[in-house]
């Protein structure tokens, strides 16, 4: 099976998409085709044997072939007398973190052209890429979340009790996130967050809260789970720490929360994944507070696909690739138009 990895995109997480994609060379046993979407939304085919992060920071990627997306797949332009040449692949893996990828733009394009892909579908992206919508969705499927307040740029922000954690609504990888411990720090944190987004959420910051990660997917109606991991301890994982995590390939250490909590975490994951995230491998980050499970966030395209949490990631990936959701065929018959014309004698 030949996998076309599409990465880059117009996003604050553009660079970590590059790091995450290159790491897949050490993860997937499949033949890989790399397609890079640059800041001008031009696609380039990057040879797998020469790909490295320096190609992109230096602009050297532009010496490689441009790629064009059209019905049926990806193509390179032919010569003056030759047709466009189709790029050979079996399915697409979207590894564009943040904008263009996790916000659903690229998933919509792939769906429009009927290209098979592993990534969340558009509606799942909309829910998971917006922390405000994520909170509402979690509540609707009976998964607890930490209390929060939502503000848009220009509104008066009121915080009655510190510390709090302040987050841009639409960004991941802890970009623009601040722990605010006093009123004096609040204005600066707001300025930082509004540099990246025009909406924020504010949650109580809970020192020492236990956080656990679980990844998984659903194939033919059956859930496939990773191990449960307790990430490294810090006040919170900032951008630099998460950046390093996106190139991660070494296996994580499993944590056993006991039968009751293990089951609660997995049940919360099932409720979040539901039917919404079919066709994707996601990672959910949970808090455990007073023996109850709370959703922190949904990583709809996790760094390096959270491969390090699975016992056999290649088998899981292959099984999912062979069982992707199919769009329902809608026949266009013009039945009603023809009836109208028939009734008018035309």
The dihedral over CA atoms of 304, 309, 311, 314, expressed in degrees to the nearest 10, equals -20
Q: Are residues 167 and 305 in the same domain?
A: no
| Residue closest to 3 by CA, chosen among 24, 30, 25 | 30
Domain end (from 204, 230, 245): 204
Is residue 254 in some structural domain? yes
Distance between CA atoms of 280 and 125, rounded to whole angstroms? 11
Distance between CA atoms of 176 and 190, rounded to whole angstroms? 9
Is residue 337 in some structural domain? no
H-type helices in 104-166, by residue range?
105-112, 122-128, 131-140
Is residue 154 in some structural domain? yes
Is residue 178 in some structural domain? yes
Is residue 333 in some structural domain? no
Q: Are residues 10 and 63 in the same domain?
A: yes
3-class SS at 295? Answer: strand
Distance between CA atoms of 47 and 272, rounded to whole angstroms? 37
Is residue 261 in some structural domain? yes
Q: Are residues 200 and 214 in the same domain?
A: no
Q: Are residues 25 and 52 in the same domain?
A: yes
Is residue 341 in some structural domain? no
Domain end (from 204, 232, 252): 204
Q: Are residues 194 and 250 in the same domain?
A: no
Q: Are residues 132 and 242 in the same domain?
A: yes
CATH code assigned at 162: 3.30.1490.20
Q: Tell me the per-residue pLDDT of 311-338, one tens digit each, with 9 for 90 and over.
A: 999 999 999 999 999 888 899 999 999 8
Q: What is the pTM of this model?
A: 0.91
Sheet with strand 282-289: strands edge to edge: 144-145, 292-299, 282-289, 210-219, 222-229
Q: Are residues 73 and 155 in the same domain?
A: no
| Residue closest to 10 by CA, chosen among 70, 129, 98, 69 | 98
Is residue 326 in some structural domain? no
Whether the pLDDT of residue 244 is over 80: the answer is no
Is the separation of the CB atoms in 171 and 165 below 8 Å? no
Q: Stretch 16-42: mean pLDDT, rounded?
A: 96
Distance between CA atoms of 190 and 194, rounded to whole angstroms? 6
Q: Are residues 10 and 151 in the same domain?
A: no
Q: Are residues 13 and 109 in the same domain?
A: yes
- Which domain, by its residues, includes 255? 127-143+207-321
How many domains, in total, are found in the chain? 3
| Residue closest to 265 by CA, chosen among 206, 211, 214, 210 | 214
CATH code assigned at 271: 3.30.470.20
The most confident of 73-87, 169-183, 227-241, 309-323, by mean pLDDT? 309-323
Distance between CA atoms of 22 and 246, rounded to whole angstroms? 10
Whether the pLDDT of residue 247 is over 70: the answer is no
**Residue 81's pLDDT is what?**
64
**Residue 172's pLDDT is what?**
67
Q: Stretch 199-224: mean pLDDT, rounded?
A: 96
Q: Stretch 146-169: mean pLDDT, rounded?
A: 96
Q: Are residues 221 and 272 in the same domain?
A: yes
Give the pLDDT band (50/70/90) at residue 84.
confident
Q: Are residues 135 and 281 in the same domain?
A: yes
Per the listing, tokens 């994707």 go with 280
**Residue 173's pLDDT is what?**
62
Give the pLDDT band (50/70/90) at residue 288.
very high
Distance between CA atoms of 191 and 294, rounded to whole angstroms? 28
Which residues, 6 or more positions from 48, have their beta carbon under 8 angstroms from its beta carbon? Answer: 25, 31, 32, 33, 34
Q: Are residues 233 and 314 in the same domain?
A: yes
Token pair in block for residue 148: 């929060």
């Amino acid at each position: 099976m030949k996998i076309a990895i599409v990465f880059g995109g117009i996003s604050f997480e553009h660079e970590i998409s590059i790091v995450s994609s290159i790491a897949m060379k050490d993860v997937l046993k499949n033949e890989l085709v790399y397609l890079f979407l640059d800041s001008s939304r031009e696609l380039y085919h990057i040879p797998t044997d020469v790909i490295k992060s320096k190609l992109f920071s230096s602009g050297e990627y532009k010496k490689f072939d441009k790629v064009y997306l059209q019905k049926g797949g990806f193509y390179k332009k032919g010569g003056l007398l030759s047709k466009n040449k189709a790029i050979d692949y079996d399915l697409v893996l979207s590894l564009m973190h943040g904008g263009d990828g996790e916000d659903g733009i690229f998933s919509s394009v792939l769906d429009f052209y009927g290209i098979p892909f592993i990534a969340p579908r558009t509606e799942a992206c909309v829910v998971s890429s917006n922390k405000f919508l994520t909170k509402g969705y979690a509540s609707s499927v009976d998964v607890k979340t930490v209390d929060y307040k939502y503000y848009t740029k220009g509104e008066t922000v009121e915080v009655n009790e510190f510390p709090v954690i302040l987050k841009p609504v639409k960004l991941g990888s802890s970009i623009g996130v601040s722990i605010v411990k006093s009123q004096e720090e609040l204005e600066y944190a707001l300025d930082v967050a509004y540099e990246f987004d025009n909406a924020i959420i504010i949650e109580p910051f809970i020192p020492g809260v236990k956080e656990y990660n679980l990844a998984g997917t659903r194939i033919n109606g059956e859930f496939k789970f990773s191990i449960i991991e307790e990430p490294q301890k810090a006040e919170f994982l900032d951008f630099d720490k998460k950046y390093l995590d996106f190139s991660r390939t070494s296996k994580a250490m499993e944590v056993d929360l006991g039968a009751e909590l293990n089951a609660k975490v997995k049940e919360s994951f099932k409720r979040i994944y539901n039917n919404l995230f079919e066709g994707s491998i996601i990672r959910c980050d949970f808090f455990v507070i007073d023996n109850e499970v709370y959703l922190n966030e949904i990583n709809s395209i996790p760094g390096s696909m959270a491969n390090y949490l699975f016992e056999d990631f290649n088998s899981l990936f292959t099984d999912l690739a062979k069982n992707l959701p199919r769009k329902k065929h809608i026949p266009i018959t013009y039945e009603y138009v023809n009836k109208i014309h028939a009734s008018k004698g035309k």
